[in-house]
Amino acid sequence: MTGKAQAGFVYFAQRVREDTVAASRSGPVGFRTAQAAVAEMLRREILSGQMSPQTRLLQSEVAERFETSTTPVREALRQLVAEGLLDGDPHRGVTVHQISLEELEEIYEIRLRLEPLAMEATVTNVTSADLAEAERLLDGMEAENDPAVWTGLNAQFHALMAEAAHRPRLAAILTNLRNLSAMYIVRSIQGLPERITAGNDEHRELVAAVKDKDVTRAQEIELAHLRHTLEIGEHQLAAGS
């Protein structure tokens, strides 16, 4: 785990402990808060590649690690199973989902249809504050060469673009699909580090098109970005990497 990733773990682990103390004082509402904190930390570790596919998680071990009770951990694991990031049953243990070639292709088939719809809404509704935040994230991505940290910033960038569309139901669908594909993205970057530079260039072009209110150009860039990522994924998964 890198220094930045370790710092993130310490911060969220502390949050879990604080939320657990609050839970003892506020009943079910507090436990839901602790559940959210556990789910957020585990989700970040899975999507950043810090937790490898097929890693086994036991609720008792997770609870001990975060110094919390098993109740919020069990509910957090159930939530991540529902999101498709974990497989199994929290009572018997779960494993980090291993994405298959067929699943990746289905995910991108759906994204290739839905992302242009979301991008049209983003171009229409984006604000100057959204664009400023997008450029701030891109500055961070361009200065970053750690695949795990870059993947986290990449997720924040795409989430920002989705939220700028102001289409919450569409954003929720795409967030789930992006999270599932992100499980593969960090592996692809580790195998092809030059993909970070290519991804940064594509993101810059996308922000420029959105800023110019050019819907067609923004959609074209987004589709090319998705197809490029899918091609790399198909090659690596087919090769068993």
The residue ranges of every structural domain in the chain are 3-96, 101-238
Give pTM, 2 decimals: 0.77
8 A C-beta contact, residue 90 and residue 78:
yes
Mean pLDDT of 70-95: 91
Higher pLDDT, 72 or 18: 72
Confidence of residue 4 (pLDDT cuts 50, 70, 90): low
Mean pLDDT of 136-144: 95
Q: Which residues contact 25 (CB under 8 A, 6 or more apart)?
A: none
Check pLDDT > 90 for residue 165: yes
Give the pLDDT confidence score for residue 5 in this predicted structure: 46
Q: At the top level of CATH, which class does the domain 101-238 belong to?
A: mainly alpha
What is the average pLDDT score of the chain? 84
Strand order in the sheet with 93-96: 56-57, 93-96, 86-89
DSSP E strands: which ranges in the chain?
56-57, 86-89, 93-96
Q: Which residues contact 131 (CB under 8 A, 6 or more apart)?
A: 207, 210, 211
8 A C-beta contact, residue 47 and residue 155:
yes
Give the pLDDT confidence score for residue 217 in this predicted structure: 98
Tell me how far apart the alpha carbons of residues 55 and 46 are, in angstroms, rounded to a whole number. 10
CATH code for 3-96? Answer: 1.10.10.10
- Burial of residue 56 (number of CB atoms within 10 Å: 0-12, 13-18, 19+): exposed
> What is the rounded end-to-end Cα distance, in angstroms, of the chain?
21
Give the pLDDT confidence score for residue 94 in this predicted structure: 94
Tell me how far apart the alpha carbons of residues 37 and 33 are, in angstroms, rounded to a whole number. 6
Give the pLDDT confidence score for residue 241 in this predicted structure: 53
C-alpha dihedral, 76 to 190 to 130 to 5, nearest 10°: 50
96: which DSSP letter? E
